[in-house]
Structure 1
Amino acid sequence: MNHREVAAVLTYAGRLDPRLIRTEPGEADNQLDTWHELLDDVPMATGQGWDVREIVRKRIVSSPYPVLPADVAREWQAHRRERLARHTDPTPRADPDNPEAWRAELLAARDAVAAGQAAPSAHRGITAGRHRPGLKDQLAAVGSYIPPAVRAELAPYRPARAAREAAIAAGGPDVLGVPCDWCHAPEGEPCRRRRISLDGTARGNAPRATAHPGRIDRALAAQAQQASAA
């Protein structure tokens, strides 16, 4: 801000808080010089949510003490940091083989965002939640990542998954959708072969192509519960 803008801010602040009014010419000049010294690099207002008058007003309302130019300067620095924290450097248009031009464009973009001359450039994020309407239909239209012919060729090498897919396709329960109480296989993992040795400890950890009967019963119960809830 220049001297005229700082004088306008002081006039506005004095109207809200008469304690800031200086009647002596020497005191008024010193006050103007002090405020200008600290607010020389602070803009009066930007199109990006910054207005010195609003900062002064909030400070006068929230604090019993007279507003100081340092208070406004600190608010401006916090505003700059907040804007830069929301900014993601876009890819410069300069030639990447020219590091000086590349860096100059990056710094110019950051300075424009910090000064309130440009809006922060954010990452492109997900605009919808998990339960987006029509998502299942879109995924079904895309189809499987594994073609059916390839899936059939892989079936001998992953028997548990093949049996699971065949059961689900036939309308049966998803046996891997529940944990196994016998071998303690977690949800999504195939059952394991467990043999009890003479000392009572479990031996063997090879995956089974089929689930344990107890797990199948639990999956059937879960399927029936889901059907009744629907």
Structure 2
Amino acid sequence: MERREVAAVLACIGRLDPRTIRTAPGEARDQLAQWHELLHDVPFATNHGWDVLEAIRAQVLDSPYQVLPVDVVRRWRTYRRDRLDRHTDPTPLADPDDPAAWRAELLGNRQAVATGAAAPSTHRQLASGGPTPDVEARLRAIGSCIPPAVRADLARYRPARAAREAAIAEGLPDALGVPCQWCQAAQGEPCRSRRVGPDGRARGNVSRATPHPTRRDLAAAELTRQRAA
């Protein structure tokens, strides 16, 4: 800030907190010099959320003590730190083989964000839109997010899933598409082998690689009903 801007800041503070007013010419001059020395690199206002007068009003409301120049500087540093924390460096347009130009553009972007001259560049969220055209074309060509070769390698680690996919590919009923009335497995979950002890309590509850016969019959009936509808 320039000296006239610092003078405007002191006038604003004097209206909000008369304790800061200095009436003697020498004291007022010294106060202006002190504030200008500490606030010379703090902008009066920026296009992206910083206003020194708003910062002063917030400080007066938050603290019962007189507003000091260090209070304003601390709020400005908090503002800078918050903007840089929300900033992601975009890829510079400079030639990567020119380290000096690359670094200069990178630091220039950070300085613009820190001083409020530019808005932070945040990460592009994956959920902000659909897949890119090249991903859509690849999915149409493969038919799945998992390539067939990878799916075949994973089959031995998840036999229930592999059996279900093979049945669907052959047009057979999807047993896991319906709940199991025998072991009470929910739709989409594999059946479980439950052993009951003499006291009537369950002694085991492990997943089965194949669904119960009653569940396959129920899935076949559901498939017949869907085809007839």
TM-score by length of 1: 0.68
Does residue 58 (structure 1) correspond to residue 53 (structure 2)? The answer is no
Amino acid at match of 2:39: L
The gaps in structure 2 that reach 5 residues or longer are 131-135, 156-161, 178-186, 194-204
Note the C-alpha offset of 1:110.
0.3
What is the DSSP-based 3-state SS (H/G/I as helix, E as strand, rest coil) of the residue aligned with 1:82?
helix
The gaps in structure 1 that reach 5 residues or longer are 133-138, 186-190, 193-210
Tell me the distance in 2 between the aligned counterparts of 1:165 and 1:215.
18
Residue 81 of structure 2 contacts residue 114 of structure 2 at CA under 8 Å; is this kept in 1? yes
Residue 88 of structure 2 contacts residue 120 of structure 2 at CA under 8 Å; is this kept in 1? yes
Tell me the distance in 1 between the aligned counterparts of 2:82 and 2:143.
46
RMSD: 3.4
Residue 48 of structure 1 contacts residue 119 of structure 1 at CA under 8 Å; is this kept in 2? yes
Aligned to 1:174: 176
The runs of at least 4 aligned residues of structure 1 exceeding 6 Å deviation read none
Tell me the distance in 2 between the aligned counterparts of 1:115 and 1:49.
11
Aligned to 2:142: 145
Q: Tell me: CA distance 1:71–1:215, structure 2 relative to 1, closer, same or farther (3 Å).
A: farther
Residue 48 of structure 2 contacts residue 118 of structure 2 at CA under 8 Å; is this kept in 1? yes
The 5 Å alignment of 1:12-31 reads 12-31=12-31
Q: Figure out how many residues of one structure are paired with residues of the other and give that number.
A: 184
Tell me the distance in 1 between the aligned counterparts of 2:17 and 2:213.
78
Tell me the distance in 2 between the aligned counterparts of 1:79 and 1:32.
24
CA shift digits 1:82-104 (9 cap, x unpaired): 10111111111111111111101
- Larger deviation: 25-34 or 39-48? 25-34
Q: Tell me: CA distance 1:26–1:215, structure 2 relative to 1, closer, same or farther (3 Å).
A: farther
CA shift digits 1:35-60 (9 cap, x unpaired): 11111110000000000000001111
Does residue 34 (structure 1) correspond to residue 34 (structure 2)? The answer is yes
Tell me the distance in 2 between the aligned counterparts of 1:46 and 1:184.
64
Q: Tell me: CA distance 1:60–1:177, structure 2 relative to 1, closer, same or farther (3 Å).
A: same
